[in-house]
Structure 1
Amino acid sequence: MNLKQISMAIYATYLTNKYGFKLKKVKTAKEKKALRLEYSQTLLSKLNISIKVLNKENIPNDGKYLLISNHRSIIDPLIIEIALKDSLIHGFWVSKKELYNSLFFGTFTRNSDSILLDREASNMSSFFKDTKEVVSNGHSIFIFPEGTRNKENTPLSSFKDGARLIALKNRLPLLPVFIRTNANEILKDAINNRTKDLEIEIQIGEIIDYKDKAPLEENYRKMFNI
């Protein structure tokens, strides 16, 4: 790592843990949504990255949804938080166990409204019980259906089956979003070159009924012309 990377890593670690402890002190979904947005705006502003939302009119004002997005960068959740800033939708992020135990993300992840996904668990009953509780309390669920970050030179990798199952079990309409810009490349540029006025485009798709029988990945690719 060079000096610029080390400097940004230290700042990002400080900011993430600072907001992690702030989130621990608040209880309501409204407060947590506000802090998650504040954190996202603060960090992306430091990186000189702005977010452009395409088809913003497709964002519902409120309601319960399963938000699905492609995933190529660690800042993807921040991009989505900013895209939804004017909506009342509050989602619990599906987060893998590694994030819960992470020195960098752990405090933030555990306190920011998330659902633990332990892929090593013998069965998924606890996970689906948690999703049901979240939805019954009036909240949405946010997930990356690829299951992990896509590190290939493609805008999208294959979807896992989990997202469709969550939607069906909870009768959640799906809200598809597509981060058109390669946010990982933008992030590298921001850290290594301190380039100013960087922009990431995120496109909002049309709601998909949870009863739609078409394969979810096929539906998503068609919607965003991938």
Structure 2
Amino acid sequence: MNRIPHDTSGAPDPLRVLTPDELRRRTSMKWRTHPADVLPLWVAEMDVPQPEAVVRAVTDALALGDTGYPAGTAYAEALAAFAAKRWGWDTLAVERTALVPDVMLGVVEMLKLVTGPGDPVIVNPPVYPPFFQFVTHMDRRVVQAPLGPDLRLDLDALDEAFGRAVAGGGRAAYLLCNPQNPTGTVHTAAELTAVAELAGRHGVRVVADEIHAPLTAAGVAFVPYLSVPGGERGLSL
């Protein structure tokens, strides 16, 4: 197995700073569901110290009692600045953003906008299991377009799935996972441009779950779906 390269500038590896005993003091589901002899690798929860800037911001807000409903666009503005610096994406429209309390709840609301009960939603297994559960629970129909043997998008399979999804004349959506969870595949600009072309040709709306965008290995570039040609018709979390 190839090792993921780490920063060698002298800074400690954040994944090795906290000891197992320190982690087991946490009260989250990750550390309370299974006995102590089980390594809980089943949930996306970070075993690293919290960034000092985040700790300071939260502490300052609590000290001020600033815990009411958020107002304004400060978060969206910070995200836009981050996206421009990290990914070179400088066209994120702050005025077209909204906060959601949870990624999958956001997915549900977006799918409600672009599909109706009984409409198909295309997914790429292997993928985050709640994609299937939430789509089914909201009375949509799952259409599968599996990843290829190399765990990358199979554009031929996607083309065929899009065609099947819209064959009845109704609306259809594609729930894109970028980067792919759990494979870690980071879709390229060329792949995402091809997805946008297929979606435009078939009339399929793309909903992109990009919550893991900052978590890529060294040398791998994340590309926001909304930044590729044709991607502007999509929705992103």
Please say which structure displays the higher CA radius of gyration: 2
TM-score, reference length from structure 1: 0.35
TM-score, reference length from structure 2: 0.33
Q: Which is richer in strand?
A: 1
Larger RCO, structures 1/2 (Cα 8 Å, 6+ apart): 1
Q: Which is richer in helix?
A: 1
